[in-house]
Amino acid sequence: MDLCVLHWVLRFTFFNFMAEKRIALVTGSTRGIGKGIALKLAREGIIPVLNYRSDEASARLALEEVTGFAPEARAIQADVSKSEEARYLVEEVIKAFGHLDILVNNAGPYLIRSLFESSDEEWHRMIDGNLSSAFYCTKYALRSMRPRQSGHIINIGALNAEVPMAIGVFEAPAYYIAKAGMMMMTKYLARSEGKYQIRVNAINPGFIETEEYAHFKEENKEKWKKLIPLGYLGTPNDIAELVSFLISDKARYITGAIIHVHGGMWV
């Protein structure tokens, strides 16, 4: 067989195979909640595409774990706070797999600083890293989802996205304000994209024990646990399990929901 013909036969076979697979893009997914979500999806037969901004070492380690369940998974470097890089990321996913079924907007920096003390640069870093990044990725992902008349978008917010300065939480207003914007975007998209059978939901996590919490003293963790009625911190898998449910047929009538996962800390 001619090599050119063989190439196109293999390519056609590959895309036919991929058409039966669900493809998920999880931004900021080389550690913490994002990594937990990617692993959960991989275990369920979904092919996750990991995304990282600059930490290539963490990306390699995370990808090794994920490919143990989804060999086709890959990691793509892109700073999603920039429109052109978010576009590149989504287009690379579609180029590789032919379509995109699930977008999890998880990426986002965090800054402990009062609003009065925050510089203009810090403000824009929080807004661009958390809110603008979700806007960019969503805009480009919809180009694949709308024609297919299906899709899922999950926005990962924060406990303080709806109530500022919850008891025991660090003062990080620029971050909270950006996450609050994601909640309004979730509600808007649920209404605007419903006619395309695209469901959009948000998750607001409370204290989730990730690598970021490792440097805190145990006495601080014990203090936080006392603020939580259930008495313990959550894990990335607690968020991942909810994502898994929201993108399943069991949640077929759920869109525009903002779900809190905080052990009862804010009730």
Task: Provide φ and ψ at 123, rounded to 5°.
Answer: -60, -50
Q: Give the DSSP H or E segment for 23.
A: strand 23-26
Structural tokens at position 262: 């905080």
- In whole angstroms, give the CA distance from residue 9 to residue 184: 45
Q: Find all residues with CB under 8 Å of 153, minimum gap 6, and list them.
A: 102, 103, 104, 105, 138, 141, 186, 189, 193, 198, 199, 200, 201
Catalytic residue among 52, 136, 140, 175: 175
- In whole angstroms, give the CA distance from residue 144 to residue 237: 28
Length of the chain: 267
Task: Specify whether 175 is catalytic.
Answer: yes
Residues 38/30, Cβ–Cβ less than 8 Å = no
Catalogue the active-site residues. 175
